[in-house]
Amino acid sequence: MRAEPGELRPEIALSWRRAELSGLSPHSSVDTLTVADIDRRSRLVVAAEPVLDQATRELAGTAFSLILADRDAWIVDRRFAELGLESTMDRLGVVPGTRFTEENTGTNSIATVFELRQGLSVHGAEHFIDCFKNFACYGHPITHPVTRRLEGVLDITCPAAHANPLLGPFLRRAVSDIEQRLLEGSRAAQQRMLAVYQSAALNRLRPVLVLGDDVVLANAAATDLLDAADHAILRGLAMDAPFGVRQARDVRLTSGRVVDVAFERITGASGVLVELAPPDVQPIPRRVTPRPPQRDFATYRAQRTHVLISGEPGTGRSTAARELAGESALAVLDAVDAGHWVSTLDQLVASHAGLLVIENIALLTPEAAARVGAIMDGGACWVALTGPPAADLQGPAADLASRCMARRELPPLRTRREELPALVHEMLTELGVAASLRLAPSTLEVLAAQPWPGNLRELATLIRHIAATRSAGDVLPRDLPEAYQGSPKARRLTPIEQLEHDAITAALRDCGGNKAHAAKQLGISRSTLHRRVRSLGLS
């Protein structure tokens, strides 16, 4: 029997809606789910193993199954109170190495708990996919007691007729035991990090530090060399490195100094060992404000070359136009107000000898764009145009942009995350609070994980807010506005991944969130889109 949406609990109804937007139907099959290799000795599996053993003994002779999924919703272990249940789970695709998300399995107590981060029961007809409707299940998130991050989901499943209100308390007790074992394992991991640090720090002249989730160990040489903002840069180096493999590269610190850095993720612990070459080189002058090369602006200015300055909103298009003008007189007209200035444009051009900037050309009417184009063609005035990325321009705006032989594309902030400490320092300096106010390394890591749709303008607004609410001291992640208190462990994207991220985001936006339609627009399968959405942190 199929439940009607109006009969569903709110959290179940919303889950159904998410499943529908992913392109699923109640008749979708789960027997085609990809089975991937999993880490059977992960921290979660090791902590859960004795708890699952005990719970299975307590359930002996019943029709209950226990399913364990990790922090990414991959099933990593399962237990059965009766052997006959194993073949049933196999037919349903509930096997180690499959991923249970709402995008591919609909509403259930693994995928939906993973989405909501809270305990949830799903009874019979509340399942979105028909093949699960004969079962009742209860799932509960497993949260690390120290970091408060999601470590996994534990689920108990049985035939719908065997549902029992005691399932919830039983499962919560098991989850509590797993979380306690994770805590004990965390303490052991800290001991391993301390041992690694003590061994590496025997040479007191060599800067050494260990960066863990909640602890930083550093010798005096590292403390003298590194600014607090450097911790975020160094931690980002090893985020995707394999465990136990030593790697090296040159790194520019916030002081401007370039140092040789060797780093290695510590096996059995969520930390990284960082060793730096002794500081025996001359410091490079500080370059607080990284900017695109400006050597061409002088040439454009001398030759009065028309320039297109493009980029996402907030990337500094107006600032770049002012830099282009240099000492020349500057006149700025915004396309938003074109109805007021088009009629007087000829008078302005006749009297203005400097740079004329037309802002937001994508908003120009065809008539206004044609008038500006005629002025550019006639050479009566030196013009700079600002607008969205050149690839996004269409119609009259694209035709207008084609008259600019010089172009400057400004990169979005999300592709300049390594520059974030320097940009923050500059903004604090401009506000006159850099000497008394500091963003802690953990805070910079949280900010580096943000998507920054408003780019530099958004960052500047945030820094002004921080300076207005805090006069001195360290700004911690909990001091940020709630909208910015994201995970500090979000994976840094490579340039190619960032392009993929932006393409998928645009496709989902164009398709109103419907992943089936977005996959078709992108020319990829729906399952591939699901994997990339999760991998790129788009969920």
Residue 244 is encoded by which pair of tokens? 């136990």
What is the enclosing helix (H) or strand (E) of 456? helix 455-469
Which of 380, 409, 438 is the last residue before a domain boundary? Answer: 409
Q: Which of 42, 100, 30 lies closest to 69 in space, CA to CA?
A: 100
Number of domains in the chain: 5
pLDDT for residue 134 is more than 80: yes
CATH of the domain at 513: 1.10.10.60
Residues 272 and 351 in one domain: no
Residues 392 and 349 in one domain: yes
Does 172 reside within a domain? yes
Does 441 reside within a domain? yes
Does 215 reside within a domain? yes
pLDDT of residue 292: 45
Does 405 reside within a domain? yes
Does 191 reside within a domain? no
Does 290 reside within a domain? no
In whole angstroms, how far apart are CA 306 and each of 69, 205, 311, 332, 349? 58, 55, 17, 14, 14
SS3 assignment, position 377: helix
Residues 255 and 110 in one domain: no
Residues 463 and 531 in one domain: no
Does 251 reside within a domain? yes
Residue 444 is encoded by which pair of tokens? 């910079």
Residues 404 and 421 in one domain: no
CATH of the domain at 470: 1.10.8.60
pLDDT of residue 285: 43
Q: Is the pTM of this model over 0.75?
A: no
CATH of the domain at 251: 3.30.450.20
pLDDT digits (tens, 9 = 90+) for 187-227: 777 788 888 888 888 877 889 988 876 678 888 888 878 87
Residues 530 and 423 in one domain: no
Residues 221 and 89 in one domain: no
Residue 187 is encoded by which pair of tokens? 């303490």
Calculate the CA 502 to chain-centre distance: 12
Least confident of 42-51, 397-406, 494-503: 494-503
Residues 13 and 136 in one domain: yes
The rounded distance, in Å, linking the Cα atoms of 7 and 3 is 6
Count other C-beta atoms under 10 Å from residue 158's C-beta: 20
CATH of the domain at 87: 3.30.450.40
pLDDT category at 102 given cuts 50, 70, 90 is: very high
pLDDT digits (tens, 9 = 90+) for 284-314: 444 444 444 444 788 888 889 999 999 999 9
The rounded distance, in Å, linking the Cα atoms of 237 and 234 is 5
Does 194 reside within a domain? no
Residues 395 and 318 in one domain: yes
Question: Would you say 477 and 447 are in contact if contact means Cβ atoms under 8 Å apart?
Answer: no
Residues 178 and 254 in one domain: no
Count other C-beta atoms under 10 Å from residue 373's C-beta: 18
CATH of the domain at 379: 3.40.50.300
pLDDT digits (tens, 9 = 90+) for 325-370: 988 899 999 988 877 887 788 888 888 889 999 999 999 989 889 9
Residues 397 and 506 in one domain: no
Residues 105 and 163 in one domain: yes
Q: What share of the chain is helix, strand, coil (3-state, %, to 5)?
A: 45, 20, 35
pLDDT category at 4 given cuts 50, 70, 90 is: low
Residue 133 is encoded by which pair of tokens? 């409707």
Domain that holds residue 512: 495-535
Residue 55 is encoded by which pair of tokens? 């719970």
pLDDT category at 474 given cuts 50, 70, 90 is: confident
SS3 assignment, position 422: helix
